[in-house]
Structure 1
Amino acid sequence: MKKPLLLFVLLSLISCGQALTGATTAEDTITIGFVGPLSGDSAIYGILEKNVIEIALNEINSAGGINSKQVNVIYEDGKCTAKGAVSAATKLIEVDKVKIILSVCGAETFGISPLAEQNKVLVIAAWATLPDITHSGDYIFRTIYSDEVMGNSLAKELSKYKTVGLITEQTNYPVGISTVIRKYFEKEGRTVIEEFYEQDSQDHRTQLTKLLAQKPDVIYLNPNTPATGIASLNQLQELGYKGQLYGNFFGTNKEVRKHPLADGMIFFSEPPVSESPKKKKLFEKYKEKYGEDPAFEYGAAARYDSVYILKNAIEAVGYDATAIKNWLYEMEPYDGILGKISFDENGDVIGTKPAKNQIKNGEIMRLS
């Protein structure tokens, strides 16, 4: 009989120890899931968001949490693919029992949307632009506009040229942009020449050689990451290209802007993040903690704002995904780092639009 008695005493001591040290239990914690690329070239996006989330969590938990509960995030690598994201989200929903998932890439967000809808789990993406997300479900939100908006702005700009050459990475974001451009140009009776390369590929010489042989009036670089965009720039330079270049948001990257061939490139991107005390505070904390500025200002600001929007929602209606979803559709515009934003009837952000930029001497010049 001594062994059961000893076990009871030990368990009692452990329980008392937890109370004395302030250790939290599941009932004291709000657990949120994260699905984003934490490996491969696309990890530049996932790690950025993870870093920002950690800053926001530290602020929230240090101030007492949400409704007196500490907030914990479980991070899973979605690999910026639908397959990787579904595997990650399945684990978060079935094992970790999360009711909210913070997602990163468009392929990830759209890929997990059926699973989220089926299980009534709220998903909020900071800058997933895939057009299909708009109609992917009532529980899916994002703090950036659709590629339809970006693509139409870009197509109007490129319509001054008769023939446009696109070099596109085969992932959801670049393909979404090129699809919109193609539709616009077909209506205008203009020509689009397009070559594709596989995700994360560093060798685009064959595709670029084919593109240049058809003598397009202008070339649009359409990568998924700065790494693949720089590969295209390197190989275009080797092939002797000297014409006008256009590009997507990868032009915001510092390493891209240093490239000789990028000088003069016009690119469309997320709107600039205006200077404000909130931005200054976040960016100073980021640099102090991680030793560098955020690689993408909009992505950092959007994720930070989305965490605080969720904080406000949970404080108002509790940690219930359906109640939070309804609150988000009805909420007053949130005044964050991005400015005043809210959500439309599809969960798409209201209050932001693309910016037109040009690279000059390594700096970004705002054109509109």
Structure 2
Amino acid sequence: MTIRLHRRALLAGTALLATPAILRAQGDPIRLGALNPLTGAGGPYGPSMRKAIEGIVEAVNGAGGINGRRIQLFGEDTQTNPDAAVRAARKLIDVDRVVAVMGTWASAVTTAVAPLCWESRTMLFTVSGADSITQLPHNGFIIRTQPTSTLQITKLAEFLGERAAKRIFILAAQTPFAEPTREILAREMPKYGGQVLGQVIYDREKTAFRSEVDQALRARPDFIFLNGYLPDVTVILRELFRAGWDGGKVAPAYAVNQRLLDSLPAEVTNGTVTWAPSPDVESPAFKRLQTLLGTNDPDPYSCQTNDHASLACLAAAVAPSVTGEGLRTSVRTISQGGGERVTDVLDGLRLLKEGRKIDYTGASGPCDFTDTGDILTCPFRYEIAEGGRLRTLRVA
């Protein structure tokens, strides 16, 4: 096995020595890139996202590769920072010569990296939600498994309406989705008799947000929407508690998770509502991922990156050429082409080798995409913090 380590990346070149010499001689490796947030605000998710990708690569290589070619996985850390992510993407594209980049998380990171991918004709699989990402001139080189901001916020408005929320104030981190999110929520809430009172956009690198909290409280809302990431939302929840706020609180599930709940007293977080796209918990792919990650509750992003790797491998098996352009041509034919439903990449590769058509459905659910690369739909899970734990309210 040849493994190259450096300070930001792990090259997961999987099982080369375990691969027969005759197979190694049949073709150069298929080079795939994992670009995940191993550190920074996305750090709670990046390592498991990476492991989910590695699990697929190891399984495929262990079964003999793709058409006689093993997969070589190159990994980089975005640091949840656009500048660092661009440098990492440059290495993957220019030095490692990958045909696909998988698993960008933060929308700001994906927005920065996407032009490098489409200009180099490299396929990009992402879990970022900002609507603007697939509105870029990417020429089909982006596939997004995360629901768009429009779909996410429409579902949030529906949920808030059911909870009789009438006056919403938003505290938002400076991100590409901050203002579009406000616009969508402001458009949707009147359907339920509610309104968005206003929004404060803050620098998430700050260490205190009392002035922003005071602005929100002066508007006299009944719900405050914390549209940020885990580090800044942790501070804001503490500030709200100190200010005596006892109204509603809602935040994305990636911002309020068990790690945050473990870091704060329960009285600070009690009543905070979260929502997130839900994986397909009944899928055999989800159950395999539970075993791989050693948890009963894999996060949505790890489920999606597990599917990124599966989609890339299956598309490579039927692509006219194993290039970014080839993957772009083939990815929909193996996920929504009217074939036999499969949830396992190895089953899919076997059927494709037999000349049969497949439709891959993974741990995150059906992988059906619009012409611009957006996932069509998915269920959402709504939870509430109680006593330092999250309790599921419903999945719909």
State TM-score, norm by structure 2.
0.77
Per-residue CA deviations over 1:73-92 (Å, capped at 9, x if unaligned) read 21222233333322222222
CA distance in 2, matches of 1:25, 1:174: 51
Partner of 1:334: 360
Q: Which runs of 5+ in 2 are unaligned?
A: 1-16, 337-358
State the Cα distance separating 1:66 from its structure 2 match. Answer: 1.8
Partner of 2:391: 364
AA aligned to 1:216 is P
Cα distance change, pair 122–270 in 1 and its aligned pair in 2 (3 A): same
Cα distance change, pair 273–251 in 1 and its aligned pair in 2 (3 A): farther
Partner of 1:206: 211
Q: What secondary structure is seen at the aligned counterpart in 2 of 1:72? A: strand
Q: What secondary structure is seen at the aligned counterpart in 2 of 1:199? A: coil
Partner of 1:227: 231
Matched, 1:285 2:292: yes
Query: How many residues are aligned here?
Result: 343
Partner of 1:290: none
State the Cα distance separating 1:218 from its structure 2 match. Answer: 1.6
Per-residue CA deviations over 1:293-342 (Å, capped at 9, x if unaligned) read 38852111111112111111111124122121121234334222223222
CA distance in 2, matches of 1:257, 1:247: 13
State the Cα distance separating 1:108 from its structure 2 match. Answer: 2.1
AA aligned to 1:286 is L
Partner of 1:130: 130
2:327 corresponds to which of 324, 328, 349? 324
Decide whether the 8 Å contact of 2:78 with 2:84 is kept in 1. Answer: yes
Q: Which runs of 5+ in 1 are unaligned?
A: 1-17, 288-292
Q: What secondary structure is seen at the aligned counterpart in 1 of 2:373? A: coil
Per-residue CA deviations over 1:43-72 (Å, capped at 9, x if unaligned) read 223222112112222212111122222212
Decide whether the 8 Å contact of 1:158 with 1:164 is kept in 2. Answer: no
Decide whether the 8 Å contact of 1:185 with 1:192 is kept in 2. Answer: no
CA distance in 1, matches of 2:26, 2:34: 18
CA distance in 1, matches of 2:194, 2:299: 37
Segment drifting more, 357-366 vs 141-150: 357-366
AA aligned to 2:236 is S
AA aligned to 1:283 is Q
2:380 corresponds to which of 327, 332, 354? 354
Partner of 2:272: 265
Matched, 1:236 2:263: no
Partner of 1:245: 249
Decide whether the 8 Å contact of 1:151 with 1:180 is kept in 2. Answer: yes
Decide whether the 8 Å contact of 2:290 with 2:297 is kept in 1. Answer: no
Q: Which structure's CA Rg is the greater one?
A: 1
Cα distance change, pair 178–245 in 1 and its aligned pair in 2 (3 A): same
Matched, 1:274 2:272: no
RMSD: 2.9
State the Cα distance separating 1:25 from its structure 2 match. Answer: 8.4
Cα distance change, pair 172–51 in 1 and its aligned pair in 2 (3 A): farther
AA aligned to 2:110 is T
Correspondence list, 1:1-368, <5 A: 27-105=27-105, 106-125=107-126, 127-136=127-136, 137=138, 138-158=140-160, 160-184=164-188, 190-224=195-229, 226-250=230-254, 253-257=257-261, 259-287=266-294, 293=295, 297-317=299-319, 318-331=321-334, 332=336, 333-361=359-387, 362-367=389-394, 368=396
